[in-house]
A = this chain, B = another copy of it.
Amino acid sequence: MVGMATTTRRTERRTDALSRARIVEAAIEILDADGESALTFRALAARLATGSGAIYWHVANKSELLAAATDDVVARALGGAASEADPEQEVRTLALRIFDAIDAHPWVGSQLAREPLQLAMQQILEAIGQRLESFGTPDRALFDAASALTNYIVGVAGQNAANARLHVHDEGRTAFLEQVATRWTDLDAEQHPFLSKVAPQLADHDDREQFLAGVDLILAGIRTPH
């Protein structure tokens, strides 16, 4: 972007030199440790023992930094896609990899939901699309199918991130779910028949399992000729 000389040389000055990679790495550490709100240029500068100005020489702005961090995590999550016998099973494990990555780095969820056709989204779409190829779906439907799966994944990701943001770090999560479940139970059964009915399921459901159930639903739909 900026910097990265027009002249060709690229001699590592100090070994501890600042670099885009080191900055992104530090950003990820901060995000993982203390959440999205903790990532400020001041904090980043402090952690890298430098000033914010120096960081701006390597990175255009905060949103680019976040995008880079996201791409990084997503790439790692998708890396080394072990192929399995069943292509459908491949899609499932792929989806779970992404789910787990986002579970481990909730801020990635927000970011995916925020940026449009960015690198990270592209990687996911490509990975899923590739696996879907072998389903024998007609080309046009293929694009729709891959998009649907990707959008579903991103949707879940966003919700997970929102939850994580709410209960930074802990398992007040369980308490929160119970609280919502109670709220649903207390709803007027006339006005909200569905929610009051499923309330008990909410309390003990497993996010990961439910996510996978959704993936299976979509896969089943893709298989169906419609």
Contact = CB atoms under 8 A, between A and B. Distances in A.
A210 interface: yes
Nearest to A220: B221
B158 A114 contact: yes
Given A152-B148, A205-B143, A193 B158 contact: no
A76 to B, nearest CB: 17
A216 interface: yes
Interface of A: 110, 113-117, 121-122, 125-126, 129-130, 132-133, 139-148, 150-159, 162-163, 166, 180, 184, 192-195, 197-198, 201-202, 205, 210, 213-214, 216-224, 226
Query: How many subunits of this chain does the assembly comprise?
Result: 2
Contact of A180 (B117, B153, B157, B224): B117
A93 B29 CA distance: 44
Nearest to A133: B194
A151 B152 CA distance: 6
Contacts of A192: 126
B216 A218 contact: no
A105 to B, nearest CB: 17
